[in-house]
Amino acid sequence: MADLDGPALDQLSAFVLARLDDDERRFDAGELPYLDEAERHGRIRIMYATQGEGLLVAADPVETPEERVPVPFPDKVAFLRAEARVMRDPDVLRLVASVYDAHPDWEALRLGT
């Protein structure tokens, strides 16, 4: 999935949106969303921008624990949905998709099958 053309980017975006829907159902059921679990393990970080102008996504913890301000799960999901639908940055989408690497659709998508 090195080179993302229109259809591949569409598939990646659709995968991320579907997994966010799954995570939202987990959250609503009182279960820990995979996104939050990945964040706890330092695989991804969703944080407030320095100037308070929205959210940012990073591949690892870039703040010390004392600096972290938790982002509520509903805010994370809204931000990531906008990323997947509007911004469609392939690097951000790949990072978010990697949170769900155990999902069978991710393996097929990664291999291009």
Residue 48: CA count within 13 A, CB half-sphere? 10
Q: What is the C-alpha end-to-end distance of the chain, expressed in Å?
A: 11
Per-residue model confidence as pLDDT tens digits over 66-84: 677 889 999 999 999 999 9
Residue extents of the structural domains in the chain: 1-31, 43-71
Confidence of residue 112 (pLDDT cuts 50, 70, 90): low
pTM of the model: 0.86
44: left (phi over 0), alpha (psi -120 to 50) or beta: beta
Per-residue model confidence as pLDDT tens digits over 26-45: 999 999 999 999 999 889 99
